[in-house]
Chain A
Amino acid sequence: MTETVTENVSKARTQQAEKRSRLTRLVTWFDERLGLSHEMLRPAPQYSINPFYWLGALAVVAFVIQGITGIMLALYYVPSPTQAYSSTLYVFQNVSYGSFLQTVHLYTAYAMIMLTFMHLMRGYFVSVHKKPRELMWLVGMAMGFVTLGFGFTGYLLPWTVVSKSATDVGVGMINALPPSVSSFLVFLIVGSGSDAAEVLRFYDLHILVLPAALLILLVLKMYLLETHGVAEPAMTELSSMPMEKKRLIPIFPDVSFYLMELAALFGAAMLVIAAMFPLTLPPQYTPMAAAETIAQPDWYFLWIYQILKIQIFEGPGLPVALVLSSLIFVALIVLPFIDRSQTIQIRRRQKYVTIGAIFAAEVGVLSIWGLLTPGMVISTEQAVLVLGGTALLIAVASAVMYRVLFRGLSKGAPPAPSLTSPSLRSAMLWTSASFVFLLGLGALAIGSCFDSVAGLVSGGVTSGGLESLALSLFGLSIAVVGTIYLLYRLDLGGGSIKRRVKALEVGWKN
């Protein structure tokens, strides 16, 4: 009798095992051989299942797409001044999906640069540069420079009038540096100085030196990430976070599958954008065509270029502008050694958060301004007004936000409630997004107002100038009214504005 029961149980188990899906068996097959579920890599906390924690990983995905599309393009590309353009045009016109490949390659490069910048700014705001992650920050900065190097070297390769003119401007700026520095950099970038040497040097840097450097840095970064793990959250105290959020989850399958989802969605977005806005190749570079073209770098260098276009930095002032621009990067590099406090919570780092927000806003304003004013010299007064206005606006907005959102913390009040409730998190997200939108609109409107007034003063009163001014003032008024309304909504919980209004107004009825 006992034997029959045992046999039945055994049969049932066998049948159950047979019923296991093929996917399970496939996963098991790999797991038994690779040991993926044995925590080969440090597990990550549940709270890291959030896209903002993996912006760097998405930049790596963009790099991989760049590699794949780049290898395909390299099969046809000829790095010489006489054939660079024609070989690129050949890919556009004769190679299957060649135009699509070029478009995806370019747009993914843009996405990689944007993701790297977002990763940098997020890292700054959530204090990933602090002990013990200083080296991670430095490696990340080096990766950022390599990414910009990809952009700079890749831009020249099609040998279009736009790309060659912009590269000439960039190389020309290097000549303004002290001779010992400039001669080394010029030799590194353009070799003997001929067009043939320049395009070959750029090509070698783009497909050999920079990818190798990025891969080495990536391995180093991964090693440091494995050593230190994912950074603690900066919006919520870890102690007030529910256990479920702090639970450690294995890299395989949880985190790796999550990353695959993000990568797939990112890839899909890139493909759709490439399909909607296919690239067209600008005309070929010739000295005559270059003379008729306004040289302008690609968008990710526009903010630096816009600084260099300020009147005070023209001519002999150029080295000063270059030194000032370089100081921004130096400050970012040495940040872990300047900001040494162990506080990572955003609500306790008002000074650094405000400085970071001003930096990000100035980069955005300068880039858009540069896009709107190609080749135009910016008067010093206008630059001071726009850049100062933006900084002031952000500083005031930051002060108000800290007062409204994190009120009372400095006086030893209990910490703010943890953002665990989905509705509260959603409200925070919408509020932050609204503030960012309104601040962006306000900064743009201020810049546009100054631009319109300057235009009216210098060029006389025209209907176009007045329309532009009216539009700018309208945008500014929307930003101001929207900000006041948002602040009022935020304050409803505390009720201090409501009480003040009630005290002042007669007939207020609650």
Chain B
Amino acid sequence: MSGQGERVQRTLGRGSIVPLFVILQALVVFSIWSLGAINETTDRLYALYLSVDLVSFAAVSYLYRVDYVNRGLLAAAVVMILILILPIMFGIL
């Protein structure tokens, strides 16, 4: 288990990416709670928030799991999150 601990330390020491993803998750969960009225738009908002949450979770899990981070995959996750967030930011729903 000590090896496990070292591994976590090593992964978390790669920078501040993991905390950023975790903060993002916290923000989208808070946003989900802020949704109220029942209509198609809130349905979509809910789906997008939850998707961002899941992709962030997958990214954190990936960062924890691997010894060597594939930057392409990480960039893909960030792009996916941006694609999901942009419609919310610009109100294209």
Binding site for B on A (CB under 8 A): 20-21, 23-24, 27-28, 31-32, 37, 94-100, 253-254, 257-258, 260-262, 264-265, 267-269, 271-272, 274-275, 278
Contacts and interface: CB of A to CB of B under 8 A. Distances in A.
B43 A265 contact: no
B62 A271 contact: no
Contacts of A275: 43-44, 47-48, 51
**Max count, chain B CB within 10 A of own CB: residue among A99, A100, A267, A275:** A275
**Max count, chain B CB within 10 A of own CB: residue among A95, A271, A278:** A271
A265 B54 contact: yes
Given A31-B4, A265-B58, A278-B43, A253 B65 contact: yes
**Max count, chain B CB within 10 A of own CB: residue among A21, A258, A272:** A272
27 contacts: A20-B8, A21-B12, A24-B8, A28-B1, A37-B1, A94-B38, A97-B43, A99-B43, A253-B4, A257-B61, A257-B64, A258-B65, A260-B61, A261-B61, A264-B57, A267-B50, A267-B54, A268-B51, A268-B52, A268-B55, A268-B80, A271-B47, A271-B51, A272-B51, A272-B84, A274-B47, A278-B43
Given A37-B4, A272-B47, A99 B40 contact: yes
The 7 closest A-B pairs by CB, nearest first: A275-B47, A264-B58, A268-B51, A268-B54, A100-B43, A264-B54, A271-B47
B31 interface: no
B15 interface: no
A274 B38 CA distance: 16
A37 B5 CA distance: 12
A21 B8 contact: yes
Contact of A28 (B4, B38, B62, B65): B4
Contacts of A269: 51
Nearest to A262: B58
Contacts of B38: 94-98
**Max count, chain A CB within 10 A of own CB: residue among B9, B46, B57, B65:** B65
Interface string B15-48: 0000000000000000000000010101110111
A21 B58 CA distance: 20
Interface of B: 1, 4-5, 8-9, 12, 38, 40, 42-44, 46-48, 50-52, 54-55, 57-58, 61-62, 64-65, 80, 84
Contacts, number: 92
Contacts of B8: 20-21, 23-24, 27
B4 A278 contact: no
Nearest to B6: A24
A261 B48 contact: no
A264 B61 contact: yes
B18 to A, nearest CB: 8
A257 B52 CA distance: 18
Contacts of A268: 50-52, 54-55, 58, 80, 84
B56 to A, nearest CB: 9
Nearest to A100: B43
A286 B51 CA distance: 39
B51 A254 contact: no
A257 B57 contact: no
A100 B4 contact: no
Nearest to A261: B58
Contact of A254 (B9, B12, B43, B65): B65
Given A37-B4, A260-B61, A261-B62, A97 B54 contact: no
Contacts of A24: 4-5, 8-9
A19 B53 CA distance: 28
A24 B40 CA distance: 41
A21 B48 CA distance: 30
**Max count, chain B CB within 10 A of own CB: residue among A94, A260, A261:** A261
Nearest to B43: A100
Contacts of B65: 253-254, 257-258, 261
Nearest to A94: B38
B68 to A, nearest CB: 12
Contact of B47 (A94, A95, A100): A100
Contacts of A261: 58, 61-62, 65
Nearest to A249: B65
B1 A31 contact: yes
Given A21-B12, A95-B38, A260-B57, 11 more contacts: A20-B9, A23-B12, A98-B38, A100-B46, A262-B58, A264-B58, A267-B50, A271-B48, A272-B48, A275-B43, A275-B47
Nearest to B62: A261
Contacts of B58: 260-262, 264-265, 268
Contacts of A37: 1, 4
Contacts of B5: 20, 24, 27-28
